[in-house]
A = this chain, B = another copy of it.
Amino acid sequence: MKKTIINVLEEVELKQPIFIEALPGIGHVGKLVADHIIEELGAVKLAEIYSPSFPPQVLVDEDGIIETMKNEFYYLKSAGDDERDYIFLVGNTQGLSPEGQYEICGLILDIVEKYGAKEIYTLGGLATGQPVEKSKVYGAATNKDLAKKLEEHEVILRSADGGIIGASGLLLGMGSLRGMEGVCLMGETPGYFIDAEAAKALLMTLVSLLNLEVDTERLEERARETRQMISKAQQMEQEMMNRASVPPGEEDLRYIG
């Protein structure tokens, strides 16, 4: 296995699908949102990606069953008001090396381009390293029109000093070189637990931007559990002070969980 492998599971025609990326990152914010939409709206698995640039390991689930490191595409037909289709990219990891990230993101764009995608939404978390009162949603865009659209939906545009690291940034950057446009949405999160609160804020923004209808009840359930963790989290505050020296990036590639 010297090359990244893409197994396409189904032949499907899609109508200018919107491409939504949510690979694992800080607080699992993007991943929670995408996994929730896929489950609620019944998206169908389209393809799997395996890569020698993924971490050389496997995960083990609660039943002791081994799970291979992978990325997965799902598609969804005509889910929103405007009759557009969707492709989702989720998974349990990202590429480790810069070269691996570029190679995998290039292959991902080849796939979604083939289905006619021209618009990219990448989802992630923005780590504060501190408890968050009410999770805000931050964003960036590949052009001014999209940036303005984000502001109309109460997304806070990020300032210059923060880059977007990993697939959420790279897909937008590499996509723009192919004429695709898009935005990155980031839910504000302490960053040190699985944060359904931030995911809910991010989900609300996303459905508003896309005119999607997604029941948030089950996400609320997870959010309630999350809130109970916050007092525990505040005890961890001191510990965070040390970690706070790490520049808060949108995606921490070392954080996989």
Contacts and interface: CB of A to CB of B under 8 A. Distances in A.
Interface stretch (A18-26, A60-68, A199-207, A226-234): A60-68
A102 interface: yes
A140 B57 contact: no
Contacts of A162: 60
Contacts of A164: 57-58, 60, 66
A165 interface: yes
A148 B257 CA distance: 25
Contact of A56 (B2, B98, B139): B98
| Interface size class of chain A, counting residues whose CB lies under 8 Å from the partner chain | 35 or more
Contact of A60 (B2, B140, B144, B257): B140
Contact of A69 (B64, B66, B173): B173
Contacts of A166: 56-57
A44 to B, nearest CB: 21
Given A60-B158, A169-B58, A68 B98 contact: no
A60 B159 contact: yes
A98 B98 CA distance: 12
Interface string A123-153: 0000000000000000111111001001000
Contact of A174 (B1, B65, B67): B1
Interface of A: 1-2, 50, 52-69, 95-103, 105-106, 139-144, 147, 150, 157-167, 169-170, 172-174, 176-177, 184, 249, 257
